[in-house]
Structure 1
Amino acid sequence: MSTTHDRSMRKKVTAWALWDWASAAFNAVVTTFVFSVYIADADLFGDNANASLGWTMTAAGIFVAIIAPVIGQSTDRSGKRRGLIAFTTSVTIIATAALAFVRPDESYLWLGLLLLAIGNIAFETGSVVYNAMLTDISTPKNIGKISGIGWGLGYVGGIVLMLILYVGIIGPEVGWFGVTSGDGMSVRVSMVLCAVWTLAFSLPLMLTAADTEAKTTSRVGIIDSYRMLLRSVARLWRTDRSIVWFLISSAIYRDGLAGVFAFGGVLAGVAFGFDSGEVLIFGITANLVAGIATITFGYIDDRVGSRPVILFSLASMVILGLLIFLLHDQGKIVFWIAGLLLCIFVGPAQASSRTYLARIIPPGEEGEIFGLYATTGRAVSFLSPFMYATAISIGAILLDSSKKDAAYFGILGIAIVLFAGFASFLKVRPAEEKLTESAA
């Protein structure tokens, strides 16, 4: 019986983790290193393209912030996770495939941005459900390990897919199927392959995800959903304010971490002159660095605790972001060195945040608080795009130049978000005792 149960759980974990592998297409290729760089190119889509990308992602983030609490609570109450993960993933796939219709012309800018926003909303909404599934396929003893497997597969998936696209489509003058860079075809065909990749590797979860037992059959409206959310936060504030401060601070800096990868490729291409092949090579290297660092820092986390890892990672990223801004005139070498160093700390900060929360959650409240963790993270998902776009706009005014020339100011916006998260995290009390006691 035990062997059968173990085999069944391994299948569930595999299907769950493969969704992270599948998500590399949207995370790494669409929104970071290929399509976002393409749509932000001022020579193809006009001088406002880069800032418009930031504003569009801001609007998408605000929309996610509005619907995330409702979606999360509705899913918890109804237990219907399988249908929602299948629907949101399908919308992401369709939006990704439709990006193939975005030709390199200014008249296609808003079509590309609209499809990107739709895909982002669907993907982020699906991620809320996906994260909630973690507690269904793990125990307190292996939740960190299983979470790490998913995160690791996401990085590795990004490396594998970007290598495939570089070797077969983007790198050669004439790639597979006779594809060239003319009329943006190398990027547009890559979007079709990304859609196929996402479909192939997300199918196991979409077909096998199990619904949970419904907590209630009654429907709750949007206003009541927010009231319930505020009651949960108020109760936590009365009983353990450190958890509330952690949820607030982590929401801020996790959005900054997302901004590093979301706009890293754009900064490389627009601000530092990387061509599409160089951006893809940088993306592959960045994912490799982040993956290795995440695994390595996992061992450090076990020795010194999550809090020091988070604080050190955030402080390092703020400093490196400022260096990229101040030394931008030195060219590509600055972004290669400081950019890759910055990527070292993204994964560890993300992984240690999830581990830290597991250590401070009161017994029996894991599901609810991990749900709040997901919800608060989405609630400020507009912050990095907003600060990125605002910094570029202010930079253009200060330099009295085009937004393309001021593109490097975008890193300042992301650095400010990371610093705000670092400063607010200082109010979170150290709480490593629970892990020690559990291990004993």
Structure 2
Amino acid sequence: MTASSADGALDAHGRSTDELVGSASKTRQVISWGLWDAGNSSFHALVVTFVFAVYLVNAVGDDITGPFSASTWLAWSLALGGIVIAILAPVTGQRSDAAGKRKKALAVLTIGTIICMFLMFNVKSTDSPLVLNLGFVSFESQFGYFWLGLGLLALAAAFSELANVPYNAMLRQVSRPDNVGRVSGIAWSFGYFGGIFLLLFSFFGFMAGDGDQRGFLGLSTDEGFNVRMVVVMAAVWFAILAIPLFLAVPELPRDPRVDTKMTFRKSYAKVFRDVRVLYREDRRTLWYLLAQGVFRDGLSGVFAFGAILAVTVYGITESDVLLFGAAANIVAGIGAVLAGFFDDRFGPKAVIVTGLSSMIVTGAILLVVDGPAMFWVFGLILCFWVGPIQSSARTFLVRLTPPGREGEMFGLYLMVGRAVSFLTPALFGLFVWLFAGDRFGILGIILVLSAGLALLLTVRKPDQLGVGLAR
């Protein structure tokens, strides 16, 4: 049974919210929390970016007919999923905070992602139509496997992104004020290194070689079996690495002052009310949410368009792009770990400002240099700063947020990021069109990073705690 006190809610063992989120972090909890990120990286690296999405477009949907191509349908499905994420993110965080069910929310969303990944095994590359017979209704479609894969991918992406809300909210629960930067950086590096391991293992074990048998495992390519097994392997990896978090990290106590049975309409009303409170009482947090949305969109552009630029502008061979991608993740992971110490010493704003400034200068250099060697050097410098900025972006918000409200704030964090996620793709395409060359798309990325930096410079660095939000 819970009770309220001057310090906040108490759990069944008499521990207050402030005690749980501010207690000394334990190595076991930190590692367990970071392993979830390493597991979640399997979805982003193998499903969204390098393997399943490519297979879905180039193999399963290669014969799609009509006015829209398979890649167009993929982009639209992910965009639709992004809208769903933006709508649900703030309410997901708010309700998990109030009910003291961050771990439960994370578990449901994690399981949802993993189930979708397992179901992707059924997405075959075949000329045969997909036939479903449910007894009372039957369904047959020539391109049914493509639509099945598209739906599972969009649904899994929504589950995975929403899972980051309660996950990021746990950062204060596994850290102390004096080491939150290091804990965040270490966990972020787990995600990078986990993705690298899976990429290399998948390539050599499941994909490498020619003919009907691929990789050192000798898996058949019939109906895309080797690719479908990559996704199954990724799902198992995620499931195993997610378990330690649920065993080691304590749950947040329920706040008895908050109605945990609010309807979604009332929950959204509370979101807008809290935004108004932030505008009146803590505009620093509101401006930071806007700034991080802009500069994080610029960071996404670095990885989204980096491979395209490597091949079309700097002469990197397509076979070497995967190697560059692995190297980019390695340096970003190292950067995240190293920057964590500077985050705790000088604050997250100093890390982000330094990183963004360095990326802008490096991007300007890439505009005028040529050749693979120059891209390897300055491209990796650019990627090095992505890890520190991403890691410090979430510690900045943690340091602004009152204890017990992290889920709500990270819901807004994700919502704002989704709301401005069109900026970099739009500007990249605009500059490529205006100057008739892929190289000039870099100007679009630089412009978004510069806008994010300008907004951040107006935000005062965080104190220990932020202003409380309206109950």
Classify the TM-score, shorter chain. Answer: 0.7 to 0.9
* Pair 1:165-2:196 in alignment: no
Q: Which residue of 2 aligns with 1:257?
A: 299
* Pair 1:33-2:33 in alignment: no
Instruction: Identify if the C-alpha distance between structure 1 residues 44 and 414 changes in structure 2 by more than 3 Å, giving closer, same or farther.
Output: farther
* Pair 1:366-2:403 in alignment: yes
Q: Which residue of 1 aligns with 2:238?
A: 198
2:125 to 98, 103, 123: 103
Task: State how far apart, in whole Å, the 2-side matches of 1:264 and 1:29 are.
Answer: 17
Task: State how far apart, in whole Å, the 1-side matches of 2:58 and 2:376 are.
Answer: 20
Which stretch shifts more, 41-50 or 129-138? 41-50
Q: Which has the larger radius of gyration?
A: 2
Instruction: Identify if the C-alpha distance between structure 1 residues 276 and 74 changes in structure 2 by more than 3 Å, giving closer, same or farther.
Output: farther
1:310 to 352, 373, 379: 352
Task: State how far apart, in whole Å, the 2-side matches of 1:337 and 1:31 are.
Answer: 27
Task: State how far apart, in whole Å, the 2-side matches of 1:51 and 1:388 are.
Answer: 18
Q: Which residue of 1 aligns with 2:458?
A: 427
* Pair 1:379-2:415 in alignment: yes
Instruction: Identify if the C-alpha distance between structure 1 residues 95 and 229 changes in structure 2 by more than 3 Å, giving closer, same or farther.
Output: same
Residues 60-75 of structure 1: matches in 2 within 5 Å? 60-75=81-96
Task: Tell me how far 1:288 sits from its aligned partner.
Answer: 0.7
What's the % identity of the aligned pairs? 38
Instruction: Note the residue ranges of structure 1 that are not aligned, 5 or more in a row.
Output: 401-405, 436-440
Task: State how far apart, in whole Å, the 1-side matches of 2:404 and 2:306 are.
Answer: 33
Q: Is the 8 A contact 2:124 2:225 kept in 1?
A: no
Task: State how far apart, in whole Å, the 2-side matches of 1:117 and 1:189 are.
Answer: 19
Q: Is the 8 A contact 2:94 2:408 kept in 1?
A: no
Task: Tell me how far 1:285 sits from its aligned partner.
Answer: 0.8
Which stretch shifts more, 84-93 or 231-240? 231-240
Task: State how far apart, in whole Å, the 2-side matches of 1:306 and 1:229 are.
Answer: 26
* Pair 1:90-2:121 in alignment: no
User: 1:289-322: per-residue Cα shift (whole Å, max 9, x none)?
Assistant: 1011222333444555432331232233345556
Instruction: Identify if the C-alpha distance between structure 1 residues 412 and 67 changes in structure 2 by more than 3 Å, giving closer, same or farther.
Output: farther
> Higher helix share goes to which structure?
1
Number of aligned residues: 419
Task: State how far apart, in whole Å, the 2-side matches of 1:186 and 1:179 are.
Answer: 5
Residues 8-407 of structure 1: matches in 2 within 5 Å? 9-39=26-56, 45=62, 48-100=69-121, 101=123, 103=125, 107=143, 109-173=146-210, 174-179=214-219, 184-206=224-246, 210-215=250-255, 216=258, 218-261=260-303, 264=306, 278-302=320-344, 304-318=346-360, 320-321=362-363, 335-360=375-400, 365-368=402-405, 370-382=406-418, 386-387=422-423, 390=426
Task: State how far apart, in whole Å, the 2-side matches of 1:34 and 1:274 are.
Answer: 20
Q: Is the 8 A contact 1:34 1:187 kept in 2?
A: yes
Task: Tell me how far 1:257 sits from its aligned partner.
Answer: 2.5
Task: Tell me how far 1:122 sits from its aligned partner.
Answer: 0.2
Q: Is the 8 A contact 1:253 1:417 kept in 2?
A: yes
Task: Tell me how far 1:344 sits from its aligned partner.
Answer: 0.9
Task: State how far apart, in whole Å, the 1-side matches of 2:416 and 2:358 are.
Answer: 22
Q: Is the 8 A contact 1:66 1:379 kept in 2?
A: yes
Task: Tell me how far 1:169 sits from its aligned partner.
Answer: 1.9
TM-score where L is the length of structure 2: 0.74
User: 1:257-300: per-residue Cα shift (whole Å, max 9, x none)?
Assistant: 34434554576678888777534322221111101122233344
User: 1:185-225: per-residue Cα shift (whole Å, max 9, x none)?
Assistant: 54333212111111111123345654433224541122322
Instruction: Identify if the C-alpha distance between structure 1 residues 59 and 94 changes in structure 2 by more than 3 Å, giving closer, same or farther.
Output: same
Which stretch shifts more, 98-107 or 303-312? 98-107
**Could you say what the CA RMSD is over the residues aligned between the two structures, in angstroms?**
3.9
Task: State how far apart, in whole Å, the 2-side matches of 1:332 and 1:52 are.
Answer: 33
TM-score where L is the length of structure 1: 0.79
Q: Is the 8 A contact 1:34 1:265 kept in 2?
A: no
Instruction: Identify if the C-alpha distance between structure 1 residues 295 and 175 changes in structure 2 by more than 3 Å, giving closer, same or farther.
Output: same
Instruction: Identify if the C-alpha distance between structure 1 residues 272 and 376 changes in structure 2 by more than 3 Å, giving closer, same or farther.
Output: farther
Task: Tell me how far 1:52 sits from its aligned partner.
Answer: 4.5
Task: State how far apart, in whole Å, the 1-side matches of 2:382 and 2:254 are.
Answer: 43
